[in-house]
Amino acid sequence: MLRFTLAAIALASAAPLLAETHTITPGEGAQERLQEALILAEPGDEIVLEAGRYALTDGLSLDVDNVTVRGAGMNESVIDFTNQQGAGEGLLVTSDGVTLRDFGIENAKGDGIKSKGADQIIYHAIRVEWTNGPDASNGAYGIYPVEASDILVQDSYVRGASDAGIYVGQSKNIIVRRNRVVENVAGIEIENSMGAEVTENLATRNTGGILVFDLPSLPQVGGRSVLVARNAVIDNNTDNFAPEGNIVASVPAGTGVMVMANTDVQVLDNALINNATSHVMLVAYAQDYEDERFQPLPANVVVRGNVYGSGGSAPDFPGGDAVVAALGGALPPVLSDGLHQNLALEDAVPMVSMGFTRRGQPVTEAKPEIIQPVVAGASPELPPITLPEGMEARLK
């Protein structure tokens, strides 16, 4: 294999070689065989992981454009990092046009799969799981594309991430759909990103279901234009198991959808059921920052067409019990710290405002107030996200 491929490279000239399929089997030497295939692949090649368990000691990486890595199914081809000794993630992708599909990654020591600066990447039917369930010693992110344009994450499953199951950061033009995210701190998190659709996902038994955040002092600041629609966000009441210091460590258990410091966010047509703090939460970034580009308040948020089940009965913040008692047993479905700008609450449900007048106020200074809905006309929807031509056709 190595000898052959080296010869192929030596012969490579201006004329591209035909795309090849490199089939990897589990067992002796899988670490070297798989990593070698990932390194020596040519653009257009497909690397096939035959069914079975691949017990690896070191993280993998891919840096060749337009390569497909395909397994026999998310539960059939499993890369097991339980005994990982090095690298910060299970698989690192740094090239464009990559398709990852139909395999699973278990118990990575750091992040599951990270793709950095990898444009036009597809994650399809991938499983990333920490098999012991919620645990602060699990890796941070399951599926982790960052600093890229044109990202598609679909039909995948992530469980046990100590930060976010699916985290898209500092990116543009993003679709996250039909995934299941279970027992992570954050199910799905869209952070410092422009143009994202998060649709038809099931987020359940996380600490928070779906988060839309913007943070200061990062290379890309100014998260905006995020649609959160037609998701089932149910029973997200798992105690927060994120290591302190991380921004998601501040997410209360029982959070459905949370919008922090983002602009143009639409929460439409979701089923929001049994999230014990709040189904929809709007908050400002509370910490100090030095970044002139940063806008710390959530702004231009539309909430419409959602189905609200029970919830808000056990808010996970200091003094929550007293607020609930004062309000007759549960918070209303929408909660704001009071600092949001231009909220269009177009559902006929009340909202509770904590009545803060400045960022970072302690909960003891809250002046909770129920605001009854005034349903006006429907706000216009965000322009749809369109992926580059031919990108989705790679899955055919």
Q: Where are the alpha helices (DSSP H) in 276-394?
A: 320-326
Among 97, 165, 169, 195, binds other proteins (CB under 8 A): 169
Nearer to other proteins, 88 or 388 (CB): 88
Q: In which element (H, E) is residue 7 found?
A: helix 2-11
Nearer to other proteins, 123 or 167 (CB): 167
Query: By the 8 A CB rule, do 77 and 103 touch?
Result: yes
Q: How far is the CB of 331 from other proteins (least distance, A)?
A: 28
- Residue 134 touches other proteins, criterion: CB under 8 A: no
Q: How far is the CB of 234 from other proteins (least distance, A)?
A: 25
Nearer to other proteins, 137 or 372 (CB): 137
Separation of alpha carbons 137 and 135, rounded Å: 5
Q: In what order do the strands lie in the sheet with 141-146?
A: 58-62, 86-93, 111-116, 141-146, 164-169, 186-191, 208-213, 255-260, 278-283, 334-336, 351-353, 369-371
The number of angstroms, rounded, from the C-alpha of 233 to the middle of its chain's C-alpha atoms is: 14
Tell whether the torsion through CA atoms of 289, 294, 297 and 302 is positive or negative. Answer: negative
* Closest C-alpha among 123, 124, 130 to residue 148: 123
Q: Which positions from 65 to 94 touch other proteins by CB under 8 A, shown as an x/- string?
A: -------------------xxxxx---x-x
Q: How far is the CB of 112 from other proteins (least distance, A)?
A: 11
Nearer to other proteins, 147 or 346 (CB): 147
Q: How far is the CB of 63 from other proteins (least distance, A)?
A: 5
Separation of alpha carbons 344 and 266, rounded Å: 9
Interface ranges with other proteins (CB under 8 A) = 2, 6, 9-10, 12, 31-33, 35-36, 38-40, 57-59, 61-63, 84-88, 92, 94, 108-111, 116-117, 136-141, 144, 146-147, 162-163, 167, 169-170, 215, 217-219, 242-247, 287, 290
